[in-house]
Chain A
Amino acid sequence: MIGRVLATELLPASPQQFHFWTAIDTAIGIGAIVRVDGADRTAYGVVLDARAYSDLAAPLHDVVASEGDPAAAAPPTRRTEIRLWTAAVLRHEPEEPLQPVPLAAVRLASPDDVTVALRMDAYVRGAAPTAIPVGLYAAGGMRAPVFLDADFLLGPESAHLNINGVSGLATKTSAMMFLLNAVFQHFPAAKGRIAAVCFNVKGPDLCFLDQAADLTTQDGEMYAALDVRPEPFGRVRLFAPFKPDGVNLNTLRSHAALTDAVEPLVWGLREVLDYSEVLLNRDDIDAKADAFLDFLADRVVGKAFTDEWGTHHRVESFADLERLFRAIFDGLEAAGGRDMWRTHHVATIRKVRNRLMNISTRCKGLVTDDTTGSDLPFGAFEDRAVYVVDVAGVDQLGQDLVFTRVVSKLREHLERRDLGVEFVVVFVDELNKYAPADGPETYVRKMLLDISERGRYLGLVLFGAQQFRSQVHRRVVGNAGTTVYGRMDMDELATPGYQILSPATKSKLATLPKGELMVRHPHFTQPVFVRFPRPAALAGRQGVERFPPEADVPFADAVVRQLTALDRRVAPSRVKDLIAGRREEDVRRALLATRRARPQDVLAFFAAGLGAAVRREPVAERPAAVTPIRHVDDPYAP
């Protein structure tokens, strides 16, 4: 027994809250779960607030007693003190009739009590448990695993998870990776196959998920207590666009020992055109631009098209498209400066052309002139696999495009039930950037709202993270069935969204140590604090220390590196001989095709992709066409 429930007229016990006192040196604290056994009912509660006071009636009495000297000798008798705790009820047994908490002895909850108090018994036990461990609850030297309900974390009952906390201290990414690992290990196979798509938006955060981290003994004990194997993710595929040179991958996972696991993310005109809305800002979105984009998509791209001036086009790439635009502008110019082409105003055509061409410039490396790109394996997703999309080095426009297209494709395939898995967790960090609480309506935000509100029916689950929840669209965070809080900023805690938390809980959140989180879940009537071990997968910072990124290499060396990553038998000198004198676009195209096909004979396939070499013809130097200006004695001449 650790305390007794007390009730006065001013501090009564109610069905939802009660107060109790304990010894001064009690082991419990804010967040502790306690049990009160009455004659005919048991109540479980979580400590929300605490107060201590003595019988000192007025501060002045202390001054008088010490004769004004705070450094006076310590009093021989300690004043009588109280530790008064306020707890919110988690559960009553029996649930009906709902009555005030009995005025009885208070005990620290045992692990079994924690299961009952948090209503986890409904999904931890039984024939088809759906429990996903999220962390260890600890109080008074006792530890108990805390589980989330897969039906409420991944759907269909509720879904989505949002994690919140200050950078560097809240351990948001670590928590997310631990939880994802727990999901992969505990999600019931009977419920379906599951995969994760993680957008790496900063640094090397998610680049080493397949590498084992160094864990401490304490971590090992926590893993054992949570029944999670301390292993990195078994199936990880990392996708990254190229750098502008088109051969060096734009990722911090560029150490020679790891590059074979990085695949290029490259898209052609068709992929970009389907998501052209992302590229258009609010002012651009008008019926005219839409109509012209539709015209391009329906009538031009990927089809034989002949313009009014008799030129035949087959637009497969950005270069082809640019040729078409050039032909239109030249044709209109030649026609006496006409300003309409096929009902589209030349200004609209110019605007659309600028936006589309802009992406090929700003996202060079992501967008290719080739007709086919290299993409995530939509339709062939594997169970318990993580697909990391590394867009950390891509500018905001490119990140928006990648995010929108990948999520749209996931959604399309999940709707058709042909993705390869039934559930996909999409992890997005810096959610405040993609779904801000205010600011213009963007295509990305609309998409995130759509996932938040309808994704659970499809198996498309959003695991979002951000520093400040108040800065994320409230429908996005509001639809997250499970919310996790790490160390919080006091300014953020002062915002209206946290009014339901007690001052002591806020204070605890503001000083939460690394590795400790507060979790809200539909089954928990109050937030619960848990500790979790460090993720078994290598964190980004340790990853770049263990596998330092390599500097960009010259074009030929980069090609060699990529081909040898596919097949170690490839002789670098042979590759260099093959590409000598070739146009870089041709080499890139052949390289991409080889990577995509992953043939048995890499070098032969690559050579075939290059095609026959075109011999360079020497061109005779022509005499200067313009006669040099004769020297004049002009002091102002340049």
Chain B
Amino acid sequence: MREALARAGGTAARGTVRRFAPQPVAKPFARSRVVEGSAIAALDVGAPVPAPEGVGFVDGIQQYVVDGHIGLTPVVRAYVDAAVLERRAGVLHCAARAGDEFLVVPGARLAARQRDALEAIGLPLRDSDPGPRAHPLVDLWAATQVIEQRRTACEIAAARDFLAARPGAWLFVDGGVSGLARLAGAGRAVGIVKEHETQFLDGPDLEVALTLPAGSRSSVFARSGGGAETHSWYLRLWPWPEEDLLHGLTRIERLAGAVTPAEAHMVSRWLLAERTPIAAPDQRWDRLIYPMHEVETYLRAHAGGWS
């Protein structure tokens, strides 16, 4: 097979045996336009360079438990927490933090008496979408939407505090940066997107982006629709041959207007330097940089045995 693939101009993968079909992708495609040159190209970014002193890393966690049901209505208790760890002399310290613990229920389905009983617990009560009728899985999914929103809000709050307290400091964000658009200093935020469910490129541009060699980035392209406009480029942290197309591939995101080709190179080199230490044994180690992994570890340690 390997020889046949080579003869056909293909690339062999490790060939991991899989037994389950992947989940359907909610939004597989989106539009974009190339803003660096006329077409997507693979650009060698050069040697890794450590990010400036005082850089921050923001991430959040969420945990929830179904505490019970009122009739068919699930009562979900959630815990979200977000933090910015600032790196000084190679050591990470917490610079900003925001968290919350609350109940999530489809409030429209509850009687006033039932709602009062839940509020008496002392935790904030947040409403989830009641939907047209009860469905155990859909109700739970609706609750998790609320939880994720709250986690995102905590991440934004922590990012806001950090950017305000450290003028000039860069902030790496786990995920996109469009949610930070209204924050002062959001131009210093760099999103690291590890998931590639939505493809913004097509045809030869997509092939160039998904077959980038390690240490290279794609040209910058603008992503439009769904919030503030952002500029993105793909960056390959680790070689993909023998793995798969998405191995070591990240999409770097910044608010539109905040990025120049030179800056894209600089930020890419910073991220290449973050390949060590490695975030293994986390299964996302090829795209998850260690400081971000540490933010998760920090938050999970604080969550302790929450339940």
Contact = CB atoms under 8 A, between A and B. Distances in A.
Contact of B90 (A56, A57, A72, A77): A77
Given A55-B297, A80-B294, A75 B48 contact: no
B133 to A, nearest CB: 46
A79 B285 CA distance: 15
Given A76-B90, A77-B90, A66 B276 contact: yes
Contacts of B275: 65
Contacts of B118: none
Interface in A48-80: 55-58, 61-62, 64-66, 72-80
Nearest to A61: B280
A75 B280 contact: no
B280 A76 contact: no
Contacts of B276: 65-66, 72-73, 75
Given A77-B290, A77-B291, A80-B297, A61 B90 contact: no
A325 B274 CA distance: 98
Given A78-B90, A80-B294, A73 B277 contact: no
Given A80-B294, A80-B297, A75 B281 contact: no
A56 B48 contact: no
Nearest to B273: A76
| Main SS class of interface, A | loop
A58 B274 CA distance: 18
Contacts of B51: 76
Interface in A498-525: none
Contacts of A57: 280-281
A79 B277 contact: yes
Contacts of B281: 57-58, 61
Contacts of B294: 77, 80
B8 interface: no
A209 B183 CA distance: 80
A78 B297 CA distance: 14
A76 B50 contact: yes
Nearest to B275: A65
B278 A76 contact: no
A65 B279 CA distance: 9
A476 B78 CA distance: 69
- Most chain B CB within a 10 A radius of its CB, from A56, A72, A80: A80
B278 A64 contact: yes
A79 B87 CA distance: 12
A76 B48 CA distance: 11
A57 B278 CA distance: 10
A384 B110 CA distance: 93
A275 B250 CA distance: 93
The binding surface of chain B is classed by DSSP as loop
A145 B202 CA distance: 78
A72 to B, nearest CB: 7
A57 B291 CA distance: 16
Contact of A77 (B277, B285, B297): B277
B303 to A, nearest CB: 16
Interface in B250-307: 273-278, 280-281, 285, 290-291, 294, 297
B239 to A, nearest CB: 10
A80 B294 CA distance: 8
Contacts of A78: 90-91
A73 B273 contact: yes
B48 A77 contact: no
B181 interface: no
A74 B273 CA distance: 9
Contacts, number: 52
Contact of B278 (A65, A72, A73, A80): A65
B274 A76 contact: yes
Interface residues of B, number: 20
B277 A62 contact: yes
Contacts of A58: 280-281
A61 B281 CA distance: 8
Interface string A377-406: 000000000000000000000000000000
Given A61-B280, A62-B278, A76 B87 contact: yes
A57 B283 CA distance: 12
B92 interface: yes
A73 B48 contact: yes
Contacts of A55: 297
Contacts of A65: 275-278
A62 B281 CA distance: 11
Contacts of A61: 277-278, 280-281, 285
Interface in B32-55: 48, 50-51
A57 to B, nearest CB: 4
Nearest to A60: B280
Interface in B67-82: none
Interface in B88-118: 90-92
B12 to A, nearest CB: 20
A77 B276 CA distance: 8
Contacts of B278: 61-62, 64-65
A56 B293 CA distance: 12
A65 B278 CA distance: 5
A602 B280 CA distance: 92
Contacts of B291: 77
Interface string B171-186: 0000000000000000
A75 B51 CA distance: 11
B305 to A, nearest CB: 12
A73 B275 CA distance: 11
A71 to B, nearest CB: 13
A478 B90 CA distance: 52
A62 B279 CA distance: 10
Interface string A474-501: 0000000000000000000000000000
B302 to A, nearest CB: 14
Nearest to B50: A76
Interface string B203-246: 00000000000000000000000000000000000000000000
Contacts of B285: 61
Nearest to B90: A78
Nearest to B285: A61
Contacts of B87: 76-77
B287 to A, nearest CB: 14
A65 B275 CA distance: 6
B253 to A, nearest CB: 21
A56 B277 contact: yes
B58 to A, nearest CB: 15
Contacts of B274: 76-77
A263 to B, nearest CB: 69
A77 B290 CA distance: 8
Nearest to B238: A64
A65 B48 CA distance: 13
Residue in B87, B91, B273, B290 whose Cβ sees the most chain A Cβ within 10 Å: B290
Nearest to B89: A78
Contacts of B277: 56, 61-62, 65, 75, 77, 79
Contacts of A76: 50-51, 87, 90, 273-274
A74 B49 CA distance: 11
B105 to A, nearest CB: 36
Nearest to A80: B294
23 contacts: A55-B297, A58-B280, A58-B281, A61-B277, A64-B280, A65-B275, A65-B276, A65-B277, A65-B278, A66-B276, A72-B276, A73-B273, A73-B276, A74-B90, A75-B277, A75-B290, A76-B51, A76-B90, A76-B274, A77-B294, A79-B277, A80-B294, A80-B297
Interface of B: 48, 50-51, 87, 90-92, 273-278, 280-281, 285, 290-291, 294, 297
Interface of A: 55-58, 61-62, 64-66, 72-80
Given A65-B275, A75-B290, 12 more contacts: A56-B277, A61-B278, A61-B280, A62-B278, A64-B280, A65-B278, A73-B50, A75-B277, A76-B274, A77-B274, A78-B91, A80-B92
9 nearest CB pairs, A to B: A65-B278, A65-B276, A78-B90, A76-B50, A61-B280, A57-B281, A75-B276, A75-B277, A61-B278
